[in-house]
Chains A and B, each alone.
Chain A
Amino acid sequence: MPELFRRLQYLLHRRRLERELANDMEAHREMAARAGHANFGNDLHLREQSRDAWGWTWIDHLLQDLRYAARSLRKSPGFTLAAILMLALGIGVNVAVFGFFNLFVLRPIQVRDAQSLLRFHRRGTNQYAFAVPYPEAAFFRQNSRTLASVIGVNSTSVSIEGEEKPEEARFVTGNFFRDLGGSSAVGRTLDPSIDEAPAADPVLVLSNGYWRRRFAADPSVVGRTLRVNNRQAVIVGVAAADFSGVGGALHDPAFFAPIVQQPYFVEGSRLLTDFSIESPGVSLWGRPGPGVTPSAAEEELRSLAVELRRQYPDSIWENERLPSEPGGYLSAMVTGNRRGTGTEQRDPIVPVLALAGSLTLMIFAVACGNLGGLLLARSVARQREISIRIAIGAGRGRLIRQLFTESLLLAGLGAAAGVALGSTVLHALLAYAGAPAWADGSPDWRIAAFALTAAFGSAILFGLTPALQIGRQRHRANITRHVLIAAQVAASCVLLIVTGLLGRALTRVAFSSPGFEYKQTIAVSSDLARNGYSPARSRAYLNALEDQVRALPGVQSVSLALSPPLGHVTITTGTDVEGHHVEFNRNHVSPEYFQTMAIPILRGRALRPNDRHVMVVSDSVARSAWPGKEPLGQTMDFGERFTVVGIAADVRNLKFGATETGAHAYFPIEEDQWPNLTVVARTAGVPQELAKAVAPAAGRLNPAIRPTIELLSSAFRERMGDVELVALAVSILGSLAQLLACFGIIGLVSYAVSQRTREIGIRMALGAKPGQVLAVVLRRLVLPVTIGLILGVAGAAGLAQFVRGRLYGISHLDPAAYAAAIGFFALTAGIAAVLPARKALRIDPLRALRHD
């Protein structure tokens, strides 16, 4: 230890100690000379030998190498700029994607001690649900000893005075802010002792985002009353901007309110007492006490569930467990309120990011290939310089190290530029998506480590090879070049094919019929639940409204649906059928729905009034659930068994996402769904006029209820906007890769030409024709390009296979997409190869032969 300490001191006082050493040795020489002993050693070299003992010479060498590298990079700004640009692009797009991955999966959310937070789901013998009925959660909160805190969160859509669209309210247990460490920007947060007391006043804590958006961050809102669902409540505070809370993904709700007040705001809500699976329930979060493991907490919740089942045998499942997952990450939040039987499938956030990541990795590969080509070409250009340095005594190891240092310097600069580019893109995307302030995409150590790893990885891979070749004064550049070409061709081929597949899938979404009538249809949502209507009263109102609308001129068909197409609500249900998992959008509709939406019934029959325990499934559900079997008469288990009575044609919600498989199942309306139903109507006339006529018709029924009337055609256009955006992003990536690959090929071919100037000159002197000269240059490209194409097609097919199960409308063997991508690639690569190859034709044989 003291030796290490002294060594460090030598590093710190290097200059002084070096002077002292030099003085010692000088004195030695003087005295030796006086005594008549001449000493002819190189004193500089001797001094360096002595300093070696300190063990710090590598720093000197490194600094020397860095200085030299910086100088030589400055001397060829074109090369330097191109290399840094390549790295910045390659690393930048990956940093952007990794940034999202980081934000969702790696980085803990902005609450106190996020790592210890757990999220619980429900699981029975044959059932699962992500939501937990509130009374069950409350029972856990009251009785758990292993959990230091139990937090329940319910999201409900509400109407706030002065807002046209419904807003999200987050109803939370009173300990939400206290136990998650959320402070307030102004006023106070929720306090369990005040806000959960009996007869507490209804209060709201605004989210920071809503406070800024609606009230322009005015601190005087505290103490004001706000009408929510026509109920008064006092704003007691605003949540801090850096508090993410739990229970939502990349957005803030309008406000947080104590969950015990939910029935006050939502008339007729049985959230607090309803044990049944139909209850919206809460997402359940917990934090184990000190020294308690998650499995101990799970074990305790299991025994508590057993205890609770004794009181509520119908509502608590047999063998109910509450498995946990780490809750302190955004990825734990995006699992929605899904339920079903059998095994659940997780939400596809990680696979989607993995797909994006593998596409951007291809861009990285192409960029690396270009970098390798640049370095290779440069190494040839520097051959003379290197030879001179070797001739005057530079050691081979030192030379390799120096060249390698140069690559590392490039990598560092490239990484910095890449992080800057990537986080700019990430910020822009987050801002575009309207992400709240706490969703911070700025680079942290993980992003820095990622970028540095990528940069140094590429520098080692592509900097070391040329360095070693130069160091050995031996050139096997041909093989390296061929590998580079093949890798680039393969990577850009994968990108082109996959972007082609995505592009075609998107076009299909955009230009093919969605499978239902949207141009002539309107949707009327009355939000009866928010107006305090009971199911029976809702039924009477909606039946009357249906009659009113049916009587309007031009109306052809009117019906009811729980989740109309292109709406904001989609319910995803999963179940196990004969051992495999089937997932689809669930809708509850009145019998006339198929007529209104013009969805053909392919086989069997539509729903009938007073049907019970029957379902109509879409074609793709039938095919995936019972492949090769007669689907009519089959049953599915949702706690109760439902019999398939009809097969409807597939319809699509036009969301470019995971659940978009065209899979739908239609069930009869259940009694408690009436307040949430939407009236859909199709007209023979102009839908705008029907929309205008509906409002007064509804006003005649009850002037207090002002329904939201939406043209499905405009909802359709809105959705298309999103699809077009994805298509744009995909095609930008594809063209970027193609552009990079072309640059790479141009560079490598012109390098090949410059290397073979003399040979070409001789051939021309001997009478070779231009075509033959071109053939000589290009012939050697054929093999690597072919290998690259084969690898690329295989890679793309593999990736497409992976994507197919997750994104709608992608077929993994779409010959047109493959042919188009390969054709386009061959064309551009051909042009990129011929352009520089033409240089070979302009070679003057005389000059070429004199060329050294």
Chain B
Amino acid sequence: MPSGALALLILRVLRADALHGYAIAQRIHILSSDVLRIEEGALYPTLQKMLLKGWVTADWGVSETNRKVRFYRLTPAGRQELDDQVAAYERVHDAIQTVLRTA
């Protein structure tokens, strides 16, 4: 996975509602039709960076397994970042596609 893509995916799956770490990994796994598998070693450092940047916040909640765990939620800054990153990604993606089709 290209670097930076994980942050984009996390931002995207958090857009609808707040999720805890395992749920984020699961959601990406399912939505990618079992292609993308996010390891802890990648997920948690990325989440820490996003917290620092202020894109997400973490609040205590209770998981579906009845365990106290932190839920990550998108901040307005994070929402803005998501829009920017999606727009940038689509532009690059279209450009690559154009090159692949026409060259």
Classify the secondary structure of A's interface with B.
helix
Specify which of A7, A20, A52 is in contact with B45 (CB 8 Å cutoff): A52
Give residues 1-50 of A contacting B (CB, 8 Å). 2-3, 6-7, 10, 20-21, 23-25, 27-32, 34-35, 39, 41, 43, 46-47, 49-50
A-side contacts of B22, CB under 8 Å: 27-28, 31-32
Contact between B21 and A46, CB atoms less than 8 A apart? no
One digit per residue, 1 when the CB lies within 8 angstroms of any chain B CB and 0 when it does not, for chain A 40-73 equals 0101001101111111000000000000000000
From residue A34, how far is it (CB to closest CB) to chain B in Å? 7
A-side contacts of B39, CB under 8 Å: 39, 41
Contact between B52 and A53, CB atoms less than 8 A apart? yes
Contact between B63 and A50, CB atoms less than 8 A apart? no
The segment from B10-18, B65-73, B80-88 that touches chain A is B65-73
Specify which of A20, A46, A51, A52 is in contact with B58 (CB 8 Å cutoff): A20
Interface size class of A (residues with CB under 8 A): 20 to 34
Specify which of B25, B26, B44, B63 is in contact with A21 (CB 8 Å cutoff): B44
Q: Which of chain B's residues has its CB closest to A48's CB?
A: B45
Contact between B48 and A53, CB atoms less than 8 A apart? yes
A-side contacts of B58, CB under 8 Å: 20
Contact between A41 and B21, CB atoms less than 8 A apart? no
Q: Which of chain B's residues has its CB closest to A31's CB?
A: B22
From residue B22, how far is it (CB to closest CB) to chain A in Å? 4
Q: Known contacts being A3-B52, A10-B52, is A28 close to B65, with CB within 8 Å? A: no
Specify which of B40, B49, B53, B54 is in contact with A28 (CB 8 Å cutoff): B40
B-side contacts of A23, CB under 8 Å: 68-70
B-side contacts of A55, CB under 8 Å: 52
A35 to B64, CA, bound (A): 13
Contact between A3 and B54, CB atoms less than 8 A apart? yes
A-side contacts of B51, CB under 8 Å: 6
Q: Which of chain A's residues has its CB closest to B60's CB?
A: A20
Contact between A24 and B21, CB atoms less than 8 A apart? yes
A23 to B67, CA, bound (A): 10
Contact between B44 and A24, CB atoms less than 8 A apart? yes
Contact between A39 and B49, CB atoms less than 8 A apart? no
Q: Known contacts being A23-B68, A53-B45, is A39 close to B40, with CB within 8 Å? A: yes
Interface size class of B (residues with CB under 8 A): 20 to 34
Contact between A6 and B54, CB atoms less than 8 A apart? yes
Contact between B52 and A6, CB atoms less than 8 A apart? yes
From residue A729, how far is it (CB to closest CB) to chain B in Å? 59
A7 to B68, CA, bound (A): 25
A20 to B70, CA, bound (A): 8
Give residues 25-69 of B contacting A (CB, 8 Å). 25-26, 39-41, 43-49, 51-54, 58, 63, 65, 67-69
Q: Which of chain B's residues has its CB closest to A34's CB?
A: B65
Contact between A25 and B40, CB atoms less than 8 A apart? yes
Q: Known contacts being A24-B21, A25-B21, is A30 close to B44, with CB within 8 Å? A: no
Of B20, B46, B52, which is in contact with the most chain A CB atoms at under 10 Å from its CB? Answer: B52
From residue A332, how far is it (CB to closest CB) to chain B in Å? 54
B-side contacts of A34, CB under 8 Å: 65
Q: Known contacts being A25-B21, A27-B21, A30-B67, is A46 close to B48, with CB within 8 Å? A: no
B-side contacts of A53, CB under 8 Å: 45-46, 48-49, 52
Give residues 74-127 of A contacting B (CB, 8 Å). none
From residue A546, how far is it (CB to closest CB) to chain B in Å? 94
A51 to B53, CA, bound (A): 14
B-side contacts of A31, CB under 8 Å: 22, 63, 65, 67
A604 to B46, CA, bound (A): 98
A-side contacts of B48, CB under 8 Å: 21, 50-51, 53-54
One digit per residue, 1 when the CB lies within 8 angstroms of any chain B CB and 0 when it does not, for chain A 805-840 equals 000000000000000000000000000000000000
Q: Known contacts being A3-B52, A3-B53, A54-B48, is A41 close to B41, with CB within 8 Å? A: yes
Specify which of A6, A21, A27, A51 is in contact with B67 (CB 8 Å cutoff): A27
B-side contacts of A20, CB under 8 Å: 58, 70
Q: Which of chain A's residues has its CB closest to B65's CB?
A: A31
Q: Which of chain A's residues has its CB closest to B64's CB?
A: A31
A20 to B51, CA, bound (A): 13
A156 to B59, CA, bound (A): 81
From residue B56, how far is it (CB to closest CB) to chain A in Å? 12
Specify which of B40, B47, B53, B63 is in contact with A41 (CB 8 Å cutoff): B40
Specify which of A7, A24, A29 is in contact with B20 (CB 8 Å cutoff): A24
A-side contacts of B69, CB under 8 Å: 23-24, 27
Contact between B45 and A50, CB atoms less than 8 A apart? yes
Contact between A50 and B44, CB atoms less than 8 A apart? yes
Q: Which of chain B's residues has its CB closest to A50's CB?
A: B44
7 of the cross-chain contacts (CB-CB < 8 Å) are A6-B51, A6-B54, A24-B21, A30-B65, A35-B26, A46-B40, A49-B44
Additional 13 contacts, C-beta under 8 A, given A2-B54, A25-B21, A28-B22: A23-B69, A23-B70, A24-B21, A27-B20, A28-B20, A28-B25, A28-B43, A31-B63, A41-B39, A46-B41, A50-B45, A53-B52, A55-B52
6 A-B pairs with the lowest CB-CB distances in the bound complex, closest first: A53-B48, A50-B44, A31-B22, A27-B69, A28-B22, A53-B49
Interface residues, chain A, with chain B CB atoms under 8 Å away:
2-3, 6-7, 10, 20-21, 23-25, 27-32, 34-35, 39, 41, 43, 46-47, 49-55
